[in-house]
Structure 1
């Protein structure tokens, strides 16, 4: 197993991406510490993981709450013995579909503020324990910071760019302590798109924008995340893993 004996904290674990990654990490031997704002959903996921033979713990709090984040990370380090992996996949409260020149400041800055704050706080909390261990992996999840013609993504693209700047800074400072920082990028995952009018057309556009004429699935994300967090990727840091099926060209 790729992650045998590792402790992974996943923020936003009850969502589509978070739950897929949690299942993938547990399948590879990690104990997953599931964090979110709805305990009922977290407990249901934890039960599912345990039934499948995995190990899971849950904690209910907001991943923007500095004190709760620090306290939980310290609790995991104390009770489990280590914090080996930290991954933040909470939603960024983004508003899409409105041209920038028609957007309010509040709607524009919401994803930027959320993304930077939550990723900084959770990465910092994990890193403080990883430094003492001399090892650890911090995974971020985002897209490309470049704008996409024809789409009105508001502040989300700015948020992605800010996250990448944060990732570069963390990787530079934490590398000497044996800590890796990596971003996973997709061009969109149809399984996470809420059902709505025009959904089929939106998914067709998403697929058409790829080179492989298919999009990444939640299972693809889970497998790549497990690889990135494992020793198989021990030489990878300060970079992004492009799993966009060719939507994004590096």
Structure 2
């Protein structure tokens, strides 16, 4: 298995993306530490992992809380002996559909502040342990992209650009210690749309039409790529992006 003997932390592990990544990590042999603010959602993912024969631990955690993030990383290492993979897929709280000229400052800066603060805190906490042990993988989710004329996405792309700058800086500083950083990029995963999302079917069709393969990535696709990138088989990949967009995003 790709991640046998590895300890992986998934921040936002109770969400659709986080759950998919956590399940894939567990399937590949990792011991998964799920962290997030809603225990019930985390426990659901953990139950799925355990039912499939995997190992999962759950912790309620606000990734905006500096001391809590550091303490949790220390607890993971105390329990597992190492912290080998860290991925942050916490929701940014972005507001979409409102033109910038009509948007409040609070709504605009919300995803930027949340994404930058939580990614910095979780990466720093994990990176300190990874530096000491001489290995590790920090995965960032999202990646930047070009604005789309028909859609108003508020501060979301600003947040993604900030995360890409952080990922590059982490790669530059941590590479000498054997720590890799990679961004997972998708062009949108329709399975993550809420059941009551307006025009969900239409949006899914639009997303598929914009790809070169004529289909969109699934949650399973995201999990599979994340597990590969986190594994030693991808040991040459750092300061890089893994494109999981079916050709919607062109490198």
Fold shared, TM-score > 0.5 on shorter chain: yes
Equivalent residue for 2:167? 167
Q: Secondary structure at the match of 1:194?
A: coil
> Following TM superposition, by how much is the alpha carbon of 1:146 offset from its aligned partner in structure 2, in angstroms?
2.3
Answering whether residue 73 of structure 2 is matched by residue 73 of structure 1, we say: yes
Residue 178 of structure 2 is matched in structure 1 by 178
Contact map agreement 1:145 1:158 (CA 8 A) in 2:
no
TM-score in terms of structure 2 length: 0.98
The answer to whether residue 138 in structure 2 is matched with residue 138 in structure 1 is: yes
The normalised TM-score by structure 1 is: 0.98
Any idea what the Cα deviations from partners look like across 1:18-70, whole Å, max 9, x if unmatched?
A: 11111100000000000011112212221221121101101001111111100
| Structure 1: 5+ residue stretches without partners | none
User: 8 Å contact 2:112–2:159 — kept in the other structure?
Assistant: yes
Which residue number in structure 1 is paired with residue 41 of structure 2?
Answer: 41
**Residue matched to 2:243:** 242
Q: Provide the aligned C-alpha RMSD in A.
A: 0.9
1:26 paired to 2:19: no
Q: Distance in 2 between matches of 1:212 and 1:149?
A: 22
Q: Is the 8 A contact 1:144 1:248 kept in 2?
A: no
* Equivalent in the alignment of 1:125: 125
Q: CA deviation at 1:214?
A: 0.3
TM-aligned CA deviation for residue 243 of structure 1: 0.8
State the Cα distance separating 1:145 from its structure 2 match. 3.4
CA distance in 1, matches of 2:163, 2:198: 31
Q: Provide the rounded CA distance (Å) in 2 between the counterparts of 1:91 and 1:179.
A: 25
CA distance in 2, matches of 1:197, 1:82: 44
Q: Quick check: 1:13–1:22 contact (8 Å CA) kept in 2?
A: yes
- Alpha-carbon distance in 2 for matches of 1:24, 1:229: 11
1:86 paired with 2:86, answer yes
Map of 2:155 onto structure 1: 155
Name the counterpart of 2:227.
Answer: 226
| Kept in 2: contact 1:10–1:87 (CA 8 A) | yes
Superimposed CA distance per residue, residues 111-134 of structure 1 (whole angstroms, 9 cap, x where no aligned partner): 011100000000000000001100
Could you tell me whether the CA contact under 8 Å between 2:145 and 2:249 is conserved in 1?
no
- Equivalenced residues, count: 250
Encode CA deviations 1:196-219: one digit per residue, 9 max, x unaligned.
231111111111111111000000
Instruction: Tell me, yes or no, if the aligned pair for 1:84 and 1:130 is still in contact at 8 Å.
Output: yes
- Are the aligned partners of 1:143 and 1:187 in contact in 2 as well (CA < 8 Å)? no
- 1:103-114 to 2 correspondence within 5 Å? 103-114=103-114
